[in-house]
Homo-oligomer: A and B are copies of this chain.
Amino acid sequence: MTPAPADTPATVDLLRMPTSGPGDLAPLEALRAFGHSPTDVLAVVGKTEGNGCVNDFSRTLATVRWEPVLPSDTITVFSGGTEGVLSPHVNLIVADPRPRPGHDRGLVAAAGRTRDLAPDEVGREPQLAAVRDVVTELTKRLGLAPEEVDMVLVKCPLLTSDRIAACRATGSEPVTDDTYESMARSRAAAALGVALALGECSEDQALAALADRDTTQVWSSRASASAGAELTDCHVLVLGTSRHASSPLRAVHGTMRDAIDLASLRTLFDRIAAEGGELVQVFAKAEADPYGLVRGQRHTMLTDSDLHSTRHARAAVGGLLSALAGTTALYVSGGAEHQGPPGGGSVTLVYRVPDA
């Protein structure tokens, strides 16, 4: 195992707090009550209540409100869409170097950003490479082996009509001129960047999958990417369980093989129970099965022109996960291209074990 760099372990706490609206900064006050300062916040990872699609201004509103009160290198990841029972909230990932001895491992995290991506780079190899590089660097900084990474959250750009026009004005053609489709393409490139950084596929495989738009063969079991119009670079959070850290917080990850994969989820929840742990948060990806079937039965998410499939998928998987977790303030994000098997998605559970 790579020896941990001098500045690790980057032990973190995870505070989950409800919000009364996308612009609600009340969690900042709560943060202080927990003994943390805004300057300790590595990342704000929130669910906001927009449609989670191209014109989701709830994400932008959250960004406009949070970014001025946070250090410049803190990243934000706002994922829109709290369909069904899901509840708007933020997760504050906070550096927490306070000694918590007696644990054989602990939750660590690091955050970073890629450079700004030009519109014609979105959904293409340059985005993939930029994400791969940041994930590689952050993983290294945490002293984690790739297999110790539990989750890589990426917030990545999309293409609006304006960005498409700007792209064409420079003589380039964007990867797609369908703005909703651009979200999928951006997530795909980001997820393949993660898969590559974590050694889950070869570069050839990643590039072929990107070129062929084939989301079914190659995936990362730990990538969670979501796209938005509120940024032009990619925000990246790497989260893992380090043997160099000692903290009651841990994570466990798995994949749902389809949107109703109760067995895989039970395995994860059982592992927490076996350690006497208490669930802190669930991070899951969800998508409509690309073949139009769930366990052989037809679904209608891909033929519903009133409601995009990502909204359907979040609602359904959110309903299941909330029932298992006993709470609805979960991070469920839609559109799982290369983020788990087709129709399924990556799942990471953060939990807390009793102090030694």
Contacts and interface: CB of A to CB of B under 8 A. Distances in A.
A290 B57 contact: no
Nearest to A292: B161
Contacts of A23: 60, 64
Contact of A61 (B61, B83, B181, B291): B61
A299 B160 contact: no
B64 A260 contact: no
A51 interface: yes
B51 A299 contact: no
A294 to B, nearest CB: 5
Contact of A53 (B290, B297, B305): B305
A90 to B, nearest CB: 13
Contacts of A303: 49, 54-55, 160-161, 179
B87 A297 contact: yes
Contact of A299 (B50, B86, B259): B86
A26 to B, nearest CB: 13
Contacts of A315: 83-84, 312, 315-316, 319
Interface string A200-231: 00000000000000000000000000000100
A302 B323 CA distance: 20
How extensive is the interface on chain A, given as a class?
35 or more
A165 interface: yes
Given A84-B312, A87-B298, A260-B326, A22 B307 contact: no
A327 B295 contact: yes
Interface string A59-101: 0110011000000000000000011111111000000000000
A67 to B, nearest CB: 12
Interface string A219-259: 00000000001000000000000000000000000000001
A189 interface: no
A261 interface: yes
A139 interface: no
| Secondary structure dominating the interface of A | loop
A47 B21 CA distance: 21
A7 interface: no
Copies of chain A in the complex: 4
A211 B311 CA distance: 32
A355 interface: no
Contacts of A301: 84-85
B326 A295 contact: yes
A305 B309 CA distance: 11
A144 interface: no
Nearest to A183: B305
A295 to B, nearest CB: 6
Interface of A: 18, 20-23, 49-51, 53-58, 60-61, 64-65, 82-89, 160-162, 164-165, 177-181, 229, 259-262, 265, 290-295, 297-308, 311-313, 315-320, 322-324, 326-329
15 contacts: A49-B55, A49-B57, A49-B300, A54-B304, A54-B305, A55-B58, A82-B299, A84-B319, A85-B260, A87-B300, A88-B298, A161-B302, A180-B305, A315-B316, A316-B319
